[in-house]
Structure formats: structure tokens, C-alpha cells
Amino acid sequence: MQNRPWYQSGWAIVLGLLFFWPLGLLFALLRLKGDRSFHKFAAKALRFAGYALLAFGCLALVGLLAGLPDSTEPDTSLGGIVFSTLLCAGGIVLSKKGSQILAGVKRRQVLINQIVNQGLTSMDEIASRIGKPVGEVLYDIQEMSQGGFLPGYQIDPQGRRVWRPAPTRPSVGASGAAEMVQFTCPGCGARNQVQKNGARAACEYCDVAVAV
């Protein structure tokens, strides 16, 4: 298991999102930079925290506004209204960011299926199959490559191609070639091929661990 700072652990991120959302958001963004397997969890956590803050903030805001005319301490009520408004704003920010991350996850799943599973190399053909402009497909593929989601793949922006050089064959010992096993990653949908050893293997494309 990869050692991470305490503020990048799941419990710290969740608590930060619920009790001081800017800090929780910062913790989540810091982990996203170095953990490919964290994107789907981060999207769900941000959206859940966002909806929770938005619901709580809206309920509190409605209650404070309804009782404002009869309040004997208007300054306190106004402070509560400001605080509730900030909670609503935080909920909107978190839910929007979570939706953006989840949309990125889904885009990568579609492209990984075309590039890794289907073996397509032409971006024009990929764009035609998924119904998107070639420029958008090129941008997404370059972004995936920079984020480490297409390890070993080469990109030719001018020729609009993406491909992976043929891998070297596994070494053959006295008992013959190593036994290989294939699995489809539950995180990104990529078909992986790894040596069977009875342990957990990480997806080559998104680091999600699977028992093989």
C-alpha cells in the first residue's frame, strides 16, 4: 500500500469536506494529482458532501429567513443567514467539482474501451465511433496521457494517431512460459493481462486493485 500524508487519507478528506469544505476539497485535489485510482471515489465523495451541505444550508436558510421578522436578536439571525449561505455555496462548489471529476472518469472509460480494448489507433475513427469532434478527442487523449492513464502509448497529434508499441514477450523458464491471466478493470474498463500469482494486481491504466 502506498504511504500517503495523513491529510490525503480517506477519513481526513471526508471529515474535511463535511466540517470545513475548502480544506476537504484541497485534500482531495492534492491526492488526485498522484493517485489514479482515487478519481471515482473523489467524485462520489465530493458530490455526496456537496448535496449534504446544500440541503443543510438551504433548510437552515429557510428557517432563519422565516423567523427573521420575529427575532429578538437580528444580528445573530443575520450571522446565521450568512453562514447558511456559505454552506449552500460550498455545496454547489463541491457537487459541481464532483460532477466534473465523474464526467472525466466516464470520458476516460469510453476512450480506454476504444484504444485499449478495441485496439483503435486513428483518432478520426475513434471520434466517429463515439460521436465527438476530433479536436475534443485529441485533447482528452493528451490529457489522459499526461495524467498517466495511457502508460506506454505514443501520441501523434499531427497524424491524429495513438498507439502502443508491441510489448516484449515474457521470459520462458524451465517450466515454460509464465501463466498469464486477463481481467477487466472495474474502475476504467480496461482489459489487463498480468502474470498469475494469486495476489492482487493493480490495473495498468488506473491503479485499481483486483485479485488475480
171-196 pLDDT tens trace: 555 455 567 788 899 989 999 987 77
Residue 73 shares a structural domain with residue 97? yes
- pLDDT bin (cut points 50, 70, 90) of residue 210 is confident
Q: In this model, does residue 202 exceed pLDDT 60?
A: yes
Residue 99 shares a structural domain with residue 125? no
Residue 11 shares a structural domain with residue 41? yes
Q: In this model, does residue 164 exceed pLDDT 80?
A: yes
Residue 81 shares a structural domain with residue 23? yes
Percent pLDDT > 90 in the chain is 61
Q: Report yes or no on 75 lying in a domain.
A: yes
Q: Report yes or no on 108 lying in a domain.
A: no
Find the domain containing 135 and state its range. Answer: 119-165
Please list, in sequence order, all residues whose beta carbon lies within 8 angstroms of the beta carbon of residue 123, skipping any fewer than 6 positions away: 134, 137, 138, 141, 160, 161, 162
Residue 2 shares a structural domain with residue 99? yes
Q: In this model, does residue 71 exceed pLDDT 80?
A: no
* pLDDT tens digit sequence for 3-39: 788 999 988 998 998 889 999 999 999 999 889 999 9
Q: Report yes or no on 65 lying in a domain.
A: yes
- pLDDT bin (cut points 50, 70, 90) of residue 78 is confident
pTM, entire model: 0.82
Residue 49 shares a structural domain with residue 136? no
Q: Report yes or no on 172 lying in a domain.
A: no
- pLDDT bin (cut points 50, 70, 90) of residue 68 is low
Q: Report yes or no on 82 lying in a domain.
A: yes
The CB-side HSE value for 132 (13 A sphere, CA atoms) comes to 16
Domain count, the chain: 3
Residue 166: what pLDDT?
77
Of 202, 208, 206, 31, the residue nearest 108 (C-alpha)? 206
Q: Is 83 left (phi over 0), alpha (psi -120 to 50) or beta?
A: alpha
Domain-terminating residue out of 77, 103, 129: 103
- pLDDT bin (cut points 50, 70, 90) of residue 93 is very high
Residue 135 shares a structural domain with residue 37? no
Q: Report yes or no on 114 lying in a domain.
A: no
d(CA 178, CA 151): 22
Least confident of 84-88, 129-133, 177-181, 192-196: 177-181
Residue 96 shares a structural domain with residue 128? no
Domain-terminating residue out of 103, 138, 156: 103
Q: Report yes or no on 171 lying in a domain.
A: no
Q: Report yes or no on 170 lying in a domain.
A: no
Least confident of 23-32, 89-98, 124-133, 175-184: 175-184
Residue 113: what pLDDT?
96
The CATH number of the domain holding residue 136 is 1.10.10
Residue 67 shares a structural domain with residue 128? no
The CB-side HSE value for 194 (13 A sphere, CA atoms) comes to 20
Residue 106: what pLDDT?
95
